[in-house]
Amino acid sequence: MRILLASPLGFLIGVTLGAVGGGGSILAVPMLVYGAGLSPRKATTASLVIVGATALFGLPSQIRAHKVRAVAGIVFAAAGVVGSVIGTHVNRGIDPDVLLLAFSGLMVIAAVAMIRRERTAFRTIEILSEPEPDPGGGLAVHARVDGATILKVIVAGTIVGFLTGMFGVGGGFVIVPALVLALGFEMSVAAGTSLLVIVLNSGIALVQRYTGDAMPWDAIVEFLVMAIPGVLFGTWLGRRVSGPTLARAFVGLLLVVAAYTAIRSSLALFA
């Protein structure tokens, strides 16, 4: 029965990652808890593996399309190391039901961020001119950077690192608008670069979390089997469906899952 749930849920995680450059990670944890039966703490760890591997699978196609800014992505992830350490420490000490209740609030924040992102993106994508693609491999960098921009990237990177360490999410809903607003990236470039950041952040958080305990590989594999083709489909979908349409669908899904998670965790917490 569990694999029947894991397959479509894993596919959905992949689709959201491929289509909107993030968001699949924030759906992974409640799906692993309520769909695969994992504890909240194990679910946040398994989520890092699933989302990191799924983003890694989707990264080459974004590189080939010249949608990844390598230096910006690496700097963004490096800025989140301290936040990841703090978030991992909090994750280990917090009550599991409190963790899930906080996670439901995070999903609402992500939904609001998605709405704001769609409203502001097209007013900011021309802040900086688009750089020439690197003919060697599809990776390019933005050259025009000042102190204020660096500070914005460090602050946003630290926040994303904390969220990754505490909740096991990639933080695409923060990464994408930060890259658009701080660096003037085109939305599609910000989404592509966010996959690189998610891969790096997931790896950093996994190193912090490793304690020698057995990983729930059965649940991880079940989700990954369908999440990876989901990324391919989501990437295809993102090129054919308008951003606002995808955003509205994703926000609706987030709010439904957030409400369900809040109700379940509250009942368990106050029972």
> What's the total number of domains in the chain?
1
Q: How far is CA 104 from CA 26, 51, 240, in A?
A: 10, 18, 30
Cβ–Cβ under 8 Å, residues 142 and 183:
yes
Residue 129 pLDDT grade (very low, low, confident, very high; cuts 50, 70, 90): very low
Rounded to whole angstroms, the Cα distance separating 110 from 194 reads 15
Burial of 256 (0-12, 13-18, 19+ CB in 10 A): exposed
Residue span of the structural domain in which 12 resides: 2-270
Question: What pairs with residue 140 in β-bridges?
Answer: 69
Q: How far is CA 264 from CA 5, 61, 91, 111, 257, in A?
A: 18, 38, 19, 19, 11
Phi, psi of 242 (to 5 degrees): -65, 150
Give 53-65 pLDDT, tens digit per residue: 888 888 898 899 8
Rounded to whole angstroms, the Cα distance separating 33 from 59 reads 27
Give 158-178 pLDDT, tens digit per residue: 999 999 999 988 887 788 878
Phi, psi of 260 (to 5 degrees): -65, -45
Rounded to whole angstroms, the Cα distance separating 121 from 168 reads 26
Q: What is the DSSP letter of 66?
A: T
pTM: 0.79
* 143 has pLDDT over 60: no
Over residues 92-116, the mean pLDDT reads 89
Joined together, the tokens standing for residue 68 give 């990844």
Q: What is the mean pLDDT of the chain?
A: 81
Q: What is the pLDDT of residue 134?
A: 47
Over residues 191-215, the mean pLDDT reads 84
